[in-house]
């Protein structure tokens, strides 16, 4: 397998790279396998062998380093930063900014001319990217400032980041990886539609996406990166950015502003609309106020601004303290975050039994409201934050109902990199107490089970908290929409054992309800009417109301479009193994597995019994077919058309046709838009008739 000469090896290496990248793209992006898995694997093994034999050949963008190779690692390698990534001291308002200038003046003299660079502080993850001879070589997270995690393959998935730059040479670029707000909203909408828990904020989502062992998942998230620091290797230590321990004399880059311009010229994404060269501290202060006002207009989350002394020689004169560079300062916006203390932690039980730790805080005023609680999401998050009871924490509101804990504030925070501070940490740790993982459900006492990052109460049928959440979901607006049935009424009904599952609602009588707290004649009658009216709702709402994992509103609609009936759906899932369901575009094995699990669960047994006893018959309001002209025909849709894919699917179904997601011999037509890929090739090779959009529309005339 090994090649005789280096040249031969190099040629074969390039050949393998091209082939594997092509197949990998087909497989991961186009969902299409051109070659058998065994062929792909054999080529990949040959490539890995070549890389081991000729390490010089290994390119940073090798298929073994990037997307979709199947050679995923189980953890990230640690990597040391040649220049430490220090954090910045914080200023909380005008006075702090002026005080910073005075400290600078005491060192360099008030008369010394200097300029300031104003930048926004993006709320993402700091990243350090090394280039060798202009090629992206390695990327690492901040970690503890000295040692970070090697996330090179993941960073490769960021489209806006140049990977090969002429003239760049050897250097380190620093920046902030973030998820644009629009992407965050998109991700959460998709999760809501799949019935998954929503992400709390763009920062955590970006962090989760970047720290994926499988870079393919990172690639799906459309992360972006804004660069703010450049360190040229020739400067041997002269970081031209956020921090420095440098003392070299031959800087190529004389100012930070110049470094930003240089990065921009090389094609790096810098925040050029916000970056500003200021001639006075007053100008910095006015920009700080200006951006505090307009920060919400940005497509990214910022948590303040940064001011840096522009001239590199002055940065060196100012130097660093044991904690921070003296020449830069983070300017925090007021009232976005507040500092408080963790008093205790409650464990909330969700609809599917997932336990969410919620911190009780010393009440603190934040953005106009008093905050007493903040979510900790899960135990991974607790470990990541390193938060314990009694800790001082920074809390933030990010448009969520319940705020987030962003970080733990330790008085010796930046000394973590400093070996002399070890004693200090120990004494601090001694005063705190850890947040323990509960072993039992706080509501029903069942022994909890670990499921991915979450803890789960397995008592699906009997756990009062889960039943309560399920009923709350059942009556919610997108499900069966029963108004007048709030959480406190549900709680009372559960307490007096009038209901055990959602279908028991339909057995409630006037005399049972009138005795409940805060219920009167009118509200009881309205509620009974609302409950009965919900029996007439469409099948997809009922399906969504069942709260099956991965079956959110959209998936429920999709399923109902094919099978609008409970008994038929059960038959399709359990007897037919979902063969018909899997033909639906957008319904995969994961959803099917979840449906199978549901139809085999105790919950379903209970619901099914009541469903027929109570005489339910949810169905879809069937649409009148427009015609039968596509009867017996199967269409596959590909490429970019003038309307959404679902528009054309509906048109085909309304005219008696079927759609499928993959081309086969039984495909009647491929409806093909612009930029069609492998499906078009496959259709051509199988002799399937290909229709352009106008031809398709003519068939309907």
Q: CB nearer to Zn ion: give 222 or 468.
A: 468
- Assess 444 for contact with Zn ion (CB under 5 A): yes
Which residues does 132 contact at the CB level (< 8 Å), separation at least 6?
Answer: 170
Q: CB nearer to Zn ion: give 200 or 463.
A: 463
Q: CB nearer to Zn ion: give 128 or 466.
A: 466
Tell me if 129 sits within 8 A of 139, measured CB to CB. yes
Pick from 457, 482, 637, 651: which binds Zn ion (CB under 5 A)?
457
Q: What's the token pair of residue 431?
A: 């005063």
Minimal distance, residue 465 CB to Zn ion, in Å: 6
Pick from 441, 503, 566, 683: which binds Zn ion (CB under 5 A)?
441
State the binding string over 531-570 for Zn ion (x if CB under 5 A, else -). ----------------------------------------
Q: CB nearer to Zn ion: give 151 or 448.
A: 448
Q: Among 189-197, 441-449, 596-604, 636-644, which window interacts with Zn ion (CB under 5 A)? A: 441-449
Within 54-83, the residues that bind Zn ion by CB under 5 A are none
Closest by CA position to 128, among listed 163, 78, 59, 176: 176
Tell me if 660 sits within 8 A of 583, measured CB to CB. yes
- For the four alpha carbons of 520, 522, 528 and 533, in that order, the dihedral sign comes to negative
**Beta bridge pairs of residue 370:** 365
Number of amino acids touching Zn ion (CB under 5 A): 7
Minimal distance, residue 462 CB to Zn ion, in Å: 8
Minimal distance, residue 470 CB to Zn ion, in Å: 12
Q: CB nearer to Zn ion: give 445 or 674.
A: 445
Give the distance from CA 255 to its chain's centroid: 36
Minimal distance, residue 439 CB to Zn ion, in Å: 12
- E-strand spans in 350-403? 354-366, 369-375, 392-396
Q: How far apart are CA 21 and CA 67, in angstroms?
A: 9
Pick from 443, 513, 573, 691: which binds Zn ion (CB under 5 A)?
443
Q: CB nearer to Zn ion: give 86 or 448.
A: 448
From 121, 295, 323, 332, active-site residue: 121
Q: CB nearer to Zn ion: give 161 or 463.
A: 463
Minimal distance, residue 459 CB to Zn ion, in Å: 5
Q: What's the token pair of residue 528?
A: 């009974």
Tell me if 157 sits within 8 A of 209, measured CB to CB. no
Does the annotation count 332 as an active-site position?
Answer: no
Instruction: Give, as one character, the DSSP assignment of residue 139.
Output: E
Q: Among 104-112, 319-327, 439-447, 467-475, which window interacts with Zn ion (CB under 5 A)? A: 439-447
Q: How far apart are CA 131 and CA 650, in angstroms?
A: 50
- Assess 355 for contact with Zn ion (CB under 5 A): no
Q: How far apart are CA 220 and CA 426, in angstroms?
A: 41
Give the distance from CA 326 to its chain's centroid: 35
**Beta bridge pairs of residue 672:** 638
Q: How far apart are CA 306 and CA 328, in angstroms?
A: 7
Across the beta sheet with 125-132, what order do the strands follow? 135-141, 125-132, 171-178, 224-232
Q: CB nearer to Zn ion: give 490 or 573.
A: 490
State the binding string over 459-478 for Zn ion (x if CB under 5 A, else -). x---x---------------
Q: How far apart are CA 238 and CA 246, in angstroms?
A: 4
Which residues does 83 contact at the CB level (< 8 Å), separation at least 6?
Answer: 172, 231, 237, 239, 243, 244, 245, 246
Minimal distance, residue 457 CB to Zn ion, in Å: 3
Q: Among 135-143, 179-187, 408-416, 434-442, which window interacts with Zn ion (CB under 5 A)? A: 434-442
- Assess 298 for contact with Zn ion (CB under 5 A): no
Minimal distance, residue 508 CB to Zn ion, in Å: 24
Minimal distance, residue 446 CB to Zn ion, in Å: 5
Q: Among 338-346, 455-463, 551-559, 614-622, which window interacts with Zn ion (CB under 5 A)? A: 455-463
Q: What's the token pair of residue 436?
A: 């323990």
| Site for Zn ion, rule CB under 5 A | 441, 443-444, 446, 457, 459, 463
**Positions marked catalytic:** 121
């Amino acid at each position: 397998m090994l090649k005789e000469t280096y040249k031969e090896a190099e040629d074969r290496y390039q050949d393998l790279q091209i082939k594997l990248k092509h197949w990998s793209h087909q497989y991961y992006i186009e969902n299409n396998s051109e070659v058998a898995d065994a062929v792909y694997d054999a080529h990949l093994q040959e490539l890995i062998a070549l890389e081991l034999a000729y390490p010089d050949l290994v390119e940073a963008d090798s298929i073994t380093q990037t997307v979709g190779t199947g050679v995923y690692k189980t953890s990230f390698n640690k990597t040391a930063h040649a220049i430490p990534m220090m954090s910045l001291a914080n200023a909380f308002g005008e006075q702090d900014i002026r005080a910073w200038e005075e400290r600078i003046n005491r060192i360099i003299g008030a008369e010394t001319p200097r300029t300031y660079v104003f930048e926004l502080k993006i709320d993402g993850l700091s990243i350090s990217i090394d280039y060798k001879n202009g090629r992206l070589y390695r990327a690492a997270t901040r970690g503890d400032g000295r040692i970070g995690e090697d996330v090179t393959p993941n960073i490769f998935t960021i489209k806006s980041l140049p990977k090969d730059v002429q003239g760049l040479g050897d250097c380190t670029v620093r920046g902030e990886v973030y998820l644009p707000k629009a992407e965050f909203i998109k991700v959460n909408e998709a999760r809501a539609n799949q019935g998954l828990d929503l992400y709390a904020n763009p920062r955590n989502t970006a962090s989760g996406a970047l720290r994926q062992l499988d870079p393919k998942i990172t690639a799906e998230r459309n992360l972006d990166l804004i660069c703010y620091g450049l360190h040229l290797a020739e400067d041997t230590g002269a970081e031209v950015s956020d921090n420095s321990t440098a003392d070299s004399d031959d800087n190529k880059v004389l100012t930070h502003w110049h470094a930003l311009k240089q990065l921009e010229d090389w094609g790096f994404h810098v925040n050029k609309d916000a970056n500003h060269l200021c001639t006075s501290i007053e100008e910095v202060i006015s920009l700080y106020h200006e951006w505090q006002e307009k920060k919400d207009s940005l497509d990214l989350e910022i948590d303040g601004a940064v001011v840096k002394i522009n001239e590199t020689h002055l940065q060196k004169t100012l130097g660093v303290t044991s904690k921070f560079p003296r020449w830069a300062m983070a300017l925090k916006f007021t009232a976005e975050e507040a500092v408080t203390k963790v008093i205790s932690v409650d464990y909330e039980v969700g609809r599917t039994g997932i336990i969410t730790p919620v911190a009780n805080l010393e009440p603190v005023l934040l953005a106009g409201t008093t905050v007493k609680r903040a979510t900790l999401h899960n135990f991974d998050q607790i470990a990541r934050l390193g938060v314990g009871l009694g800790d001082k924490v920074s809390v933030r509101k990010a448009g969520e109902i319940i705020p987030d804990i962003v970080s733990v504030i330790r008085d010796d925070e930046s000394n973590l990199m400093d070996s002399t501070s070890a004693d200090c940490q120990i004494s601090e740790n001694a005063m705190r107490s850890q947040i323990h993982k509960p072993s039992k459900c706080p509501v029903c006492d069942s022994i909890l089970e670990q499921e991915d990052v979450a803890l789960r109460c397995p008592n699906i049928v009997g756990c009062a908290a889960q039943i309560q959440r399920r009923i709350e979901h059942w009556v919610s607006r997108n499900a069966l929409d029963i108004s007048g049935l709030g959480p406190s009424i549900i709680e009372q009904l559960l307490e007096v054992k009038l209901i055990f599952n959602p279908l028991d609602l339909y057995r409630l009588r006037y005399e049972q309800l009138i005795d409940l707290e805060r219920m009167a004649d009118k509200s009881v009658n309205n509620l009974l009417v609302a409950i009965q009216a919900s029996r007439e709702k469409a099948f997809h709402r009922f399906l969504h109301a069942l709260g099956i994992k991965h079956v959110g509103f959209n998936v429920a609609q999709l399923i109902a479009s094919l099978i609008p009936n409970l008994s038929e759906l059960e038959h399709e899932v359990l007897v037919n193994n979902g063969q018909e369901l899997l033909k639906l575009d957008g319904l995969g094995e994961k959803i099917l597995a979840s449906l199978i699990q549901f139809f085999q669960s105790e919950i379903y047994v209970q619901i099914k019994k009541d469903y027929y006893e109570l005489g339910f018959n949810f169905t879809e309001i069937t649409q009148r077919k427009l015609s039968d002209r596509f009867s017996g025909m199967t269409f596959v849709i590909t490429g970019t058309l003038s309307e959404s894919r679902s528009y054309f699917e509906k048109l085909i179904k309304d005219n008696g046709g079927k759609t499928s997601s993959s081309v086969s011999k039984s495909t009647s037509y491929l409806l093909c838009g612009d930029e069609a890929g492998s499906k078009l090739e496959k259709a051509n090779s199988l002799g399937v008739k290909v229709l352009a959009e106008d031809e398709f529309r003519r068939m309907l005339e």
